[in-house]
Amino acid sequence: MKNVKVLGSGCKKCQQTADAIQKYADDNNIDIEVEKVTDMAEIMRYGVMSTPGVVVDEVTVHAGGVPNDEQIKAILA
Amino acid sequence: MFEFFTWLADVLTYDIMGIERATKLADAIHFFIEDTSKIFFLLTLIIFLMGLFRSILSPEKIRGYIEGKPKGVSYFLAVGLGAVTPFCSCSSVPLFIGFVEAGIPVGATMAFLIASPMINEVAVVVLGTVIGWEMTAIYVVTGLLVGMFGGWATDFFKMERYVEDYVWKIRTGQIVTPSYDTTWKGRIIFAWGEVKEIVGRIWKYVFIGIAIGAALHGYVPTSFFAEYASADNLFAVPLAVLSGIPLYSNATGVIPVAEALLGKGVPIGTVIVLMMSVVAISIPEFVILRKVIRIQGLVYFASFLALAFIFVGYMFNALVS
């Protein structure tokens, strides 16, 4: 199972990102757990300045916006 | 090319609604229709075009440009880049931490945060179209100068002592540069998403601004402003700045109000500082910044800006009259 962290201060885009990833995983039978990280110090530790960011198994894979389906596919690959 | 919107307002107000010309109601409705159609058209167009080319600049790249530059240069770069970088105020905190952590002076960081909401491509194009390019140039130059002054004052008065302690302890990982889908299809999807997101966020401010502008335009007589807001009244400028502090609007939303005030003969300096005060000194932005700066620091910072605006207002009213 992949651990997915969505980094963001709780704005609307972060929620959209979490929902989009969960939906993609459900549709494609990928086993993930989605977690939200709102603590700024922790977000910065992952090197993300433009939120929302996405971390998969402790590796930062995306930053700066809601990922589209293509990007999510790459993220979860 | 923008006569179309005047024509549209003519037709809707006088022909379709059948309101008699040159009445107060007709003036207000005409203003409302013309500005609503023109401003929302421009908003959509500009945000879409900028969205297509977004990957040119990002806060991450800016951080790289400013990092390690001498202080004087850093203020200049920060306001200049702040003006051309689209960024959402929800990113203020990570941006602040990211800049400070890279060793960029707190002053340059604040300069960026002042300039970014005040001057942006959308506000510049709408301002130029609605009230003329000369006024727009003055607005832009003033905004840049005030941003640089704010940055300089922040460092001069050692405001970094009001930055929350935890900020200094944060150690960031390798900064990740956002990756964008750069195919045309990806750009168009992204740009359209930006239009929906930004217009969805700011339309209320724009509507309220147009409604206030229309009411001023139609119902408040020019003599009222001549009496209370002329350049001879020394209280007009500070009052404009102070009244802008609790009010908040997006830069685009305040433009119709400025348009109506200028039309009523209110001096340019007074109008410009009212706009800037409304946009730059805002409670929502300060609530966000409170996460990284203590309350005293924010009070000082708001005071610097207010004083700078008052100075600028008097200067323009003295120069242009």
**Contact with chain A for residue B176, Cβ under 8 A:** yes
Q: In what order do the strands lie in the sheet with A32-37?
A: A32-37, A2-7, A53-56, A59-63
Other CB atoms within 10 A of residue B161 CB: 10
Using CB atoms, pick whichever of B101, B176, B189 lies closest to residue A63: B176
The candidate with the shortest Cα–Cα distance to A34, out of A49, A13, A60, A55, is A55
Tell me chain A's radius of gyration from C-alpha atoms.
11
Nearest-5° Cα angle at B197, B49 to B80: 55
Token reading at B75 = 């203020």
Coil/strand/helix, residue A34: strand
Scan for tokens 């402790």, then name that residue: A58
Q: What is the pLDDT along chain B (321 residues), one digit of tens a residue?
A: 678 899 999 989 898 988 888 889 999 999 999 999 999 999 999 989 888 876 567 788 888 899 999 988 999 999 988 888 766 666 788 888 888 988 899 999 999 988 888 888 888 999 999 888 988 998 999 999 999 999 999 999 999 999 999 888 888 777 777 766 778 888 888 889 889 888 998 999 999 999 999 999 999 999 888 888 887 788 999 999 999 988 888 889 999 999 999 999 999 999 999 999 999 888 888 888 898 999 999 999 999 999 999 999 999 898 876
Using CB atoms, pick whichever of B94, B189, B197 lies closest to residue A51: B94
Other CB atoms within 10 A of residue A23 CB: 12
Give me the DSSP letters along B119-137: S-HHHHHHHHHHH-HHHHH
Domain A2-76 = CATH 3.40.50.2300: no
Q: What share of chain A is helix, strand, coil (3-state, %, to 5)?
A: 40, 25, 35
A14 is catalytic: yes
Other CB atoms within 10 A of residue B219 CB: 12
Q: How many residues does chain A have?
A: 77
Contact across the interface for B291 and A66, Cβ inside 8 Å: no
Residue ranges per structural domain of chain A: 2-76
The candidate with the shortest Cα–Cα distance to B180, out of A55, A44, A74, is A74
Contacts 24+ apart (CB under 8 A), A24-33: A24/A69, A24/A72, A24/A73, A24/A76, A25/A76, A28/A76, A30/A2, A30/A76, A31/A1, A31/A2, A32/A1, A32/A2, A32/A3, A32/A4, A32/A76, A33/A1, A33/A2, A33/A3, A33/A4
Calculate how close chain A gets to B161, using CA atoms only, in Å: 19
Using CB atoms, pick whichever of B59, B170, B197 lies closest to residue A50: B59
A7 is catalytic: no
Residues forming a β-bridge with A55: A5, A60
